[in-house]
Amino acid sequence: MPWKTLACCVTAAALFSSAGCGASTSVSMAETEAVSPPTTENKDASVPETPTAEAAPAAEKTPVENMEHMVKTEGIAGCPVMGHVNPPSARNTALGVMSNGDWWPNQLNLKILHQNSAKGNPMNPDFDYAEEFQKLDVAAVKADLKELMTTSQDWWPADYGHYGPLFIRMAWHSAGTYRVADGRGGAGYGTQRFAPLNSWPDNANLDKARRLLWPIKQKYGDKISWADLMVLTGNVALESMGFETFGFAGGREDVWEPQEDIYWGPESEWLGDKRYTGDRELENPLAAVQMGLIYVNPEGPNGKPDPLAAARDIRETFGRMAMNDEETVALIAGGHTFGKAHGAGDAKNVGPDPEAATIEEQGLGWKNKFGKGNADDTITSGLEGAWSSTPTEWSNGYFDNLFGYEWVLTKSPAGAHQWTPKDDAAQGTVPDAHDPNKSHAPIMFTTDMALKMDPIYGEISKRFHQNPEEFQKAFAKAWYKLTHRDMGPVSRLLGSDVAPPQIWQDPVPAVDHKLIDDQDVVALKAKLLDSGLSISDLVSTAWASASTFRGSDKRGGANGARIRLAPQKDWAVNEPEQLAKILGVLEKVQKDFNDAQTDGKQVSLADLIVLGGSAGVEAAAKKAGHDVTVPFYPGRTDATDEMTDAAAFDVLEPKSDGFRNHQAREIHRPAEELLVNRAQLLTLTAPEMTALVGGMRVLNTNVGSGPLADLGVFTDKPETLTNDFFVNLLDMDTKWEKSPICDHFFEGKDRKTGETKWTASRVDLIFGSNSQLRAIAEVYASDAAEEKFVNDFVAAWTKVMNLDRFDLTPAQRHGVQ
């Protein structure tokens, strides 16, 4: 029998119940590789591989007939693939079973520092997504998307003949995972394609939306990422239903694996809510109310249909996702102007999510056994019905209905709490999504009722109802913010439809003067080192300014010099009194230089702060006998108070900064975990993080005075860039003990005399305790490694200083001259 017919075993339904082939279709890599084609000697002689003159060819059998024939003639009892699926306890490590994290669940997770390796990226090493996107005919993509909106597919029919509402939900849920506390989540990387997001209960059936988009993604290929395509599709969906959007920007580059750095919550089951304590106090940095939800429970808190309690959840959740009350009302009302909810039957009819579905489902999940399984038999949220009588047109119908009827609590066919007009007052006003001969009453969620019954939301809703144009503009701006909030400054945004800079994008002025040159840089460094400021002052201030950057949402950084503005100038970690003195000296150096120029040349304070740090690092290296030049690129500008939403910057405050050995009292997580978390936000690798901590300690940059200032400063030559931190940390003549002062502090004592030599924090000792970090520390502690350490420190320092310099080339941002 030809080898190709072996593949047909998985299509022979009768064989799945036989003794030789189990119900599971998950096969290990080892098993699949072990199967080889049958040899000529083993093939059935009565079925020639090719017809001969003596034997006329038999009629071609179907794949199932071939399989049945092989079972009968070769005596195979069931599936010919003789290996069996291993039970979970015996699976190999390719399936991720019993990793180090399973054996040691509290082990420090350094893998988050090395995500999205080039080894997992299928694109060519020189692939430049921004360059490719600029070649894209966006108008052609939008035309194709518009056609797709009304081209219903039999395998997943469009409600009302229009996929627009489905695609709005897809784009919304792609962006809606963003939270302000750490800037993680959002639409920026296309991660809705991967677990866990692709299988969250709140994302049910969005797998179909992405499959509907595949022909368009396939057509335009690398010129548009999935991340950009999902957001653009949401915009086109709105526009195709008569809504005028505020803008669209490209520039979201896909990742190729799930983001392991994001903490989605402590729960171990879908829709759990262990994230709450006390009087419904939500754990930071979380925003959603339950595991697997994007925002809030539409039925009300934990399914309790209480609109005012729902309003409390909405306000906290949307606030943690960067939305104020007006933006929240606009988004909910605007989104619910379109489409419908799906709850045609009991959720027991719905199969596993995409990650848990069988292999033949090919990444699709939530297979529905109810009726047709789609169209008017669709089960998604469990709620059922539409909010407006025109579900595929932009209108004020949502508010017309919300305020036009008295609403009563009822249940959907799936048993979910929802609201309908009292006494069937609006029966027949909403068209059926698939049958033109049917009609329905509108519905509202408990969360919709909150927009009417909450005093603050209610006033905003009434205003929007009475002023449709204001509502339209508010929704347009809120939608733009929702879908672009994690992209960083406007300079990163690509395309001809980019909206004007918004305050939430943390704008900075354009450069309007001649920049300093190399001679000026040398002269200014000398001035700074001769200003009376110490190396520690210069380095600490530059670090404080630049290290606010978050790679998650591209906020923060040295550009703008917002360290001199509220709230940054008053953060405890920045030691406000000392900072004010340092900034005063730097501003005098800036003024003296600028006043002396006659050709329009100027230096910004933002540039001068970074340059001061560079001068300090160079001076410290020179004291250690190393001549280095820290790469410097002028071009930063100084933001104003008017350009700065002070409240929005509160979330950037480093409550813990292991690089400066600082941790606020109210923070209770282990300091080493918070160090790795901050390093990940700074896009650092484990070696870069290690080099920076070792360098910052010997440069004497700790926050605080007295004993706090000495923690981890394992050197008798402070402000000298040596590898002393590593040498002394790994010295076996030192024995470490917990300090009697605090469980978080430690004393390093001479093993022979018992004399205290050093004091340290958990952050300091983790580089000797954690096996991976110790391995890196050993490199830097070697006798001949000081020059390497200095060079690595300079490279990592330069990287942090330039993280927000999106105007530089990648090589320049990493300090390559």
Quote the tokens at residue 596.
């002396």
pTM score: 0.90
CATH code assigned to 276-472: 1.10.420.10
Does 784 have pLDDT greater than 80?
Answer: yes
Q: State residue 741's pLDDT score.
A: 86
Local structure of 368: helix, strand or coil: strand
Does 31 have pLDDT greater than 90?
Answer: no
Dihedrals phi, psi of 438, to nearest 5 degrees: -115, 155
Query: Which secondary-structure segment (H or E) carries 813?
Result: helix 810-813
Fold agreement (276-472, 656-782): yes
Q: State residue 442's pLDDT score.
A: 99
Does 6 have pLDDT greater than 80?
Answer: no
What tens digit of pLDDT does each residue of 413-469 get? 999 999 999 999 999 999 999 999 999 999 999 999 999 999 999 999 999 999 999
Distance CA 432, CA 429 (A): 10
Domain 518-652 in CATH 1.10.520.10? The answer is yes
Q: State residue 94's pLDDT score.
A: 56
Instruction: Report the percentage of the chain scoring pLDDT > 70.
Output: 88
Q: State residue 86's pLDDT score.
A: 47
Does 713 have pLDDT greater than 60?
Answer: yes
Q: Cβ neighbours of residue 632 under 8 Å, at least 6 residues apart?
A: 521, 610, 611, 614
For the beta carbon of residue 594, count every other beta carbon within 10 angstroms: 13
**43 band by pLDDT with thresholds 50, 70 and 90:** very low
Question: Is 173 one of the annotated active-site residues of the chain?
Answer: yes
Does 127 have pLDDT greater than 50?
Answer: yes
Q: Would the annotation count 465 as a binding residue?
A: no
Does 195 have pLDDT greater than 80?
Answer: yes
User: Which of these CATH numbers, 1.20.81.30, 1.10.420.10, 1.10.260.30, 3.30.1440.10, describes 656-782?
Assistant: 1.10.420.10
What tens digit of pLDDT does each residue of 294-319 get? 999 999 999 999 999 999 999 999 99
Instruction: Write down the domain spans for the chain.
Output: 276-472, 518-652, 656-782
How remote is the C-alpha of 139 from its chain's centroid? Answer: 28
Bridge partners of residue 341, in order along the sequence: 385
Are the C-beta atoms of 542 and 526 separated by less than 8 Å?
no
Q: What is the DSSP string of 149-204?
A: HT--BTTBPPGGG--HHHHHHHHHHHHTT--TTT---SSTT-GGGSTTGGG-GGGT
Are the C-beta atoms of 145 and 217 separated by less than 8 Å?
no
What tens digit of pLDDT does each residue of 531-552 get? 999 999 999 999 999 999 999 9
Helix residue spans in 661-723 (DSSP H): 671-681, 686-698, 707-710
Q: State residue 260's pLDDT score.
A: 94
- Which of 40-44, 217-221, 357-361 is the least confident region? 40-44
**32 band by pLDDT with thresholds 50, 70 and 90:** very low
Through-space distance between the first and last CA atoms of the chain, rounded to whole angstroms: 64
**119 band by pLDDT with thresholds 50, 70 and 90:** very high
Rounded to the nearest integer, the mean pLDDT of the chain is 91
What tens digit of pLDDT does each residue of 484-511 get? 999 999 999 999 999 999 999 999 999 9
Q: Who wins on pLDDT, 70 or 462?
A: 462
Instruction: Report the percentage of the chain scoring pLDDT > 90.
Output: 85
Q: Cβ neighbours of residue 157 under 8 Å, at least 6 residues apart?
A: 374, 375, 434
Q: State residue 811's pLDDT score.
A: 86
**74 band by pLDDT with thresholds 50, 70 and 90:** low
As a whole number, mean pLDDT of residues 771-796 equals 98
**102 band by pLDDT with thresholds 50, 70 and 90:** confident
Set 173, 434, 440, 662: catalytic member: 173
